[in-house]
Structure 1
Amino acid sequence: MATAAPTPNRTPPALRRKRRKELATAVGFLSPWLIGFCVFFAYPLISTVYFSLTHYDGFNPPSYVGFKNYDYVVTKFPFFWQAVRNTAWLVAVMVTLRTVFGIGIGLLITKIKTGAGFFRTAFYLPYLAPPVAATIAFAFLLNPGTGPVNHLLGQLGLPQPGWFNDPNWSKPSLVLLGLWGIGDLMVIFMAALLDVPTEQYEAASLDGASPFQKFRFVTLPNIRPIIMFAVITGIIQTLQYYTQAIIAGQVASGVVGNSGQQFEPGFPDGSTWTVPQLVYNIGFQRFDYGSACVVSILLFVVAMACTALLMRRRAGLMGED
């Protein structure tokens, strides 16, 4: 017995019109975000990828060169790997210390009974200082010849480092500058610490837990998402580290304030080169926009990879919990 052919599933016209109207309404509400995404993210990213495959100096039309810019940046540009090492050092040291200090200061202020408001203000105010002004002030304070810090160290009979003028101390000096402006992380961790349920601390006390055990088994598990947030945002910010490093180098070298004087980033001896400075140096000092786009793409890929790995790690930890 033959079976009848199935009739096509035709959507009623009224239902199709309703769906189109709902789609148009959704697109209308999403249009500000869609326009911003296309104009400020998608188009610049596609343009960067395109220009990375061309030779472009900003004056003549771009000419396609394939992957020659990638080969030039990775294997021939003299400061690339030095900038990568400096940036990796800053990511490893600065992000770690800022996170640890942020938790420590947050814990300290939440335990203070008297004057907590004053200390919150004192630790948060440096974060509000503009990066350029803060870096210039820090460079003058740490001036090896006339700075008050070295003068005080000399009075105490302690070694007097060269700070921003010494290749061995320039990056630690930038870390000190980052720790000085720890107010943003302090506020975030304070909010997380105050949100830890007090009954968990009380239960731990009844079990005879020490302060360290309370911190390890009660505090850390509760603030773990905030720690992950601080680490991810810290890595992204440090991968984009530019202003403080270049201003510190200019002040230490005496270039700051001299209008029109050319400055090669990385003073002293390339110790403050960072990857974002490569983009500035290659693109706006050497007028090689194609190679500068290569550095930007590599920086974007590394930032995305670090974020994905940390988020995957966070998902694994949540699965274990």
Structure 2
Amino acid sequence: MSTLPLPDAPALRTRRRRNRLRVLLYLSPGLVGFAVFLIYPLAMTVWLSFTNSNMFSPAQFVGLRNYRFMLDSDPQLWQAVRNTGWLVVIMVPAQVLFALGVAMVTARLKAGAGLFRTLFYLPALAPPVAATVAFVCLFNPASGPVNHLLGLFGIQGPLWFDSPTWSKPALTLLSLWGSGTVMVIFLAALLDVPAEQYEAAELDGANPWQRFRYVTLPAISPVVLFASVTGVIAALQYFTQAVVAANVANGSIQAAPGYPDGSTMTFPEELYTAGFNQFHAGYACAMAVVLFVVAMACTLVLLRRASGYDPQHTQESPL
């Protein structure tokens, strides 16, 4: 019985080296872009966070002074932290639940399903600035149609974006209005759940809530995790809608940050104010590092909780 000759060791090492070089050559555009547009800016941000820099004169190393000022001396920071935390705790779950509810309703429609899906998805296609301007005009306490409709039912409409109490709930309604992308993702996941599982659960006597808990939820749990993680990251970076809503509601492009009364001041807006209005680039970089660490920590917590979630155990119905 004949055997194939084995290649000698030097030739094999040369071939592997050429394969590695070929792979690196194909990956080089992506690696260069990753290094230039992510690694370098991230490293420079961390370095500048330990300096006193105004983006014009040479940076001076000050150690942890920026971080100490952030914790002890910034009078507006903690209000921005509370507002951002409110958005993470209230707005993100509301957006996920609303998108899931709309997806479940549209998945069950027989007639006109395409029309309703299009209507729910259309607001997500609007640019954030244009959508925010239109939404604020709809909720204008004096001339907006929302308060006019509430008045027809004898309800005194609130001031919405002009009220410190209602400004964040109004921003939450804005996020629900533009949750079409999340709705489409949930819809695709729901339509992918095998119908046989629903039929088997129904034969076992499961009611609608039990079918959702033991069939639907385990099947779409990866999509729920994805929507939660991306929603938390987006809430931590919430900037455009808050700034545009404050300016439109105040009727000025130079409204006080966080109008009204700092109720819409978010952490990214405070970061922007420190870096580009007050030219405290070192302090702004320190805030950016903290924001990155918090976003990473929230993501790891969500992933860790999801890793402890056992769909097979959840599917064990008591029926």
Structure 2 match to 1:75: 72
* Aligned pairs for 1:1-321 within 5 A: 12-256=9-253, 262-318=254-310, 321=313
Task: Tell me the secondary structure at the aligned position of residue 317 of structure 1.
Answer: coil
Tell me the CA shift for residue 15 of structure 1: 2.8
Q: What amino acid is aligned across from residue 294 of structure 2 in structure 1? A: V
Tell me the CA shift for residue 141 of structure 1: 1.2
Tell me the CA shift for residue 145 of structure 1: 1.6
Is the Cα–Cα contact under 8 Å of residues 246 and 255 in structure 2 kept in the other structure? no
Once the two structures are superposed, residues 260-313 of structure 1 have per-residue CA deviations (whole angstroms, 9 ceiling, x without a partner) of: xx4431100110011110121000000000000011111100111111111122
Tell me the CA shift for residue 72 of structure 1: 1.1
Once the two structures are superposed, residues 79-122 of structure 1 have per-residue CA deviations (whole angstroms, 9 ceiling, x without a partner) of: 11111110110011111011111111111011111110110010
Q: Which runs of 5+ in 1 are unaligned?
A: 1-10, 257-261
Q: What amino acid is aligned across from residue 189 of structure 1 in structure 2? A: F
CA distance in structure 2 between the partners assigned to 1:315 and 1:208 by the alignment? 30
Q: What amino acid is aligned across from residue 28 of structure 2 in structure 1? A: S
Tell me the CA shift for residue 205 of structure 1: 1.1
Once the two structures are superposed, residues 45-93 of structure 1 have per-residue CA deviations (whole angstroms, 9 ceiling, x without a partner) of: 0000011011111111111111101111221111111111101100111
Distance 1:177 1:319, change over 3 A: closer
Tell me the CA shift for residue 251 of structure 1: 0.8
CA distance in structure 1 between the partners assigned to 2:95 and 2:286 by the alignment? 30
Distance 1:149 1:101, change over 3 A: same
Tell me the CA shift for residue 319 of structure 1: 8.4
- TM-score if structure 2 supplies the norm length? 0.93
CA distance in structure 2 between the partners assigned to 1:190 and 1:114 by the alignment? 16
Q: What amino acid is aligned across from residue 295 of structure 2 in structure 1? A: A
Task: Tell me the secondary structure at the aligned position of residue 309 of structure 2.
Answer: helix
Stretch deviating more after TM superposition (205-214 or 284-293): 205-214
Q: What amino acid is aligned across from residue 124 of structure 2 in structure 1? A: Y
Q: What amino acid is aligned across from residue 173 of structure 1 in structure 2? A: A
Task: Tell me the secondary structure at the aligned position of residue 110 of structure 2.
Answer: coil
Tell me the CA shift for residue 20 of structure 1: 1.6
Tell me the CA shift for residue 320 of structure 1: 6.9
Give the number of equivalent residue pairs: 306
Distance 1:53 1:146, change over 3 A: same
Q: What amino acid is aligned across from residue 303 of structure 1 in structure 2? A: A
Once the two structures are superposed, residues 238-278 of structure 1 have per-residue CA deviations (whole angstroms, 9 ceiling, x without a partner) of: 1110000000001111113xxxxx44311001100111101
RMSD: 1.4
CA distance in structure 2 between the partners assigned to 1:52 and 1:138 by the alignment? 37
Stretch deviating more after TM superposition (123-132 or 155-164): 155-164
